[in-house]
């Protein structure tokens, strides 16, 4: 539900800000989004005892004053504060990033492995997948406890999973059918 609301706000931003300024807008919004990991900040934002004006001032202190579309950023934050939607800022960031990625045909994939793969192998995977999917691709590695390899590009709804257990089960089924 919150993602749907965030997409509506992101759409309004996309329509209000020129495409070449969208990166700067997103960068400023990410500065605010990054402090959501601090419990004290979240407590302040969610507190009914702190006025909306004080919350708005706090958020405005986090943005870059040199930003050329500062008025649009101020208006956006003011609307979020007035509608009690401050908590959707990280989701708006994600929606704006997805829009920018889609327009530039650049995507980030996450490779889940149980041990890190050599950078030259990552480059080979990146080159092959970029060519196959006709996109620009960046691959980030994440170590996890899975026995196998999992690759995800969320914005394109692509998930590739190779499991050692699944492979062995399929091999057993194939051998039993052959007998």
Q: Quote the CA–CA distance of 16 and 99 in Å, as a whole number.
A: 14
Q: Does residue 110 share a domain with residue 97?
A: no
Token pair of 3, please?
A: 């993602």
Q: Does residue 109 share a domain with residue 22?
A: no
Q: Does residue 118 share a domain with residue 36?
A: no
Q: Helices then strands (H, E): number in the chain?
A: 8, 4
Is residue 49 pLDDT above 90, yes or no?
Answer: yes
Q: Quote the CA–CA distance of 123 and 126 in Å, as a whole number.
A: 5
pLDDT, one tens digit per residue, over 82-102 is 999 999 999 999 999 989 988
pLDDT, one tens digit per residue, over 152-167 is 988 888 888 888 777 7
CATH number of the domain that residue 97 is part of:
1.10.520.20
Q: Does residue 156 share a domain with residue 115?
A: yes
Which of 101, 124, 149 is at the close of a domain? Answer: 101
Q: Quote the CA–CA distance of 34 and 93 in Å, as a whole number.
A: 10
Q: Does residue 49 share a domain with residue 13?
A: yes
Q: Does residue 91 share a domain with residue 109?
A: no
Q: Does residue 115 share a domain with residue 67?
A: no
Number of domains into which the chain is organized: 2
Strand partners, 112: 142, 150
Q: Does residue 166 share a domain with residue 130?
A: yes
Sequence-separated (6 or more) residues with CB below 8 Å from residue 153? 107, 108, 109, 110, 137, 159
pLDDT of residue 88: 94
Is residue 11 pLDDT above 90, yes or no?
Answer: yes
Q: How many CA atoms lie within 13 A of 31 on its CB side?
A: 16
């Amino acid at each position: 539900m919150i993602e749907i609301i965030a997409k509506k706000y992101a759409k309004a931003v996309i329509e209000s800000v020129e495409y070449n300024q969208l990166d700067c807008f997103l960068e400023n919004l990410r500065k605010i989004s990054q402090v959501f990991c601090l419990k004290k900040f979240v407590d302040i934002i969610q507190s009914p005892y702190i006025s909306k004006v004080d919350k708005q001032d706090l958020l405005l202190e986090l943005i870059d004053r040199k930003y050329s579309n500062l008025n649009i950023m101020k208006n956006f934050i003011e609307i979020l504060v007035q509608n009690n939607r401050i908590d959707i800022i990280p989701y708006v960031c994600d929606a704006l990033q997805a829009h920018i990625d889609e327009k530039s045909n650049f995507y980030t994939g996450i490779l889940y492995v149980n041990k890190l793969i050599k950078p030259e192998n990552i480059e080979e995977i990146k080159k092959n997948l970029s060519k196959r999917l006709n996109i620009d691709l960046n691959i980030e590695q994440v170590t996890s406890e899975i026995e196998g390899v999992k690759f995800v590009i969320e914005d394109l709804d692509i998930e590739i999973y190779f499991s050692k257990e699944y492979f062995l089960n399929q091999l057993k089924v194939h051998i039993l059918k052959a007998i």
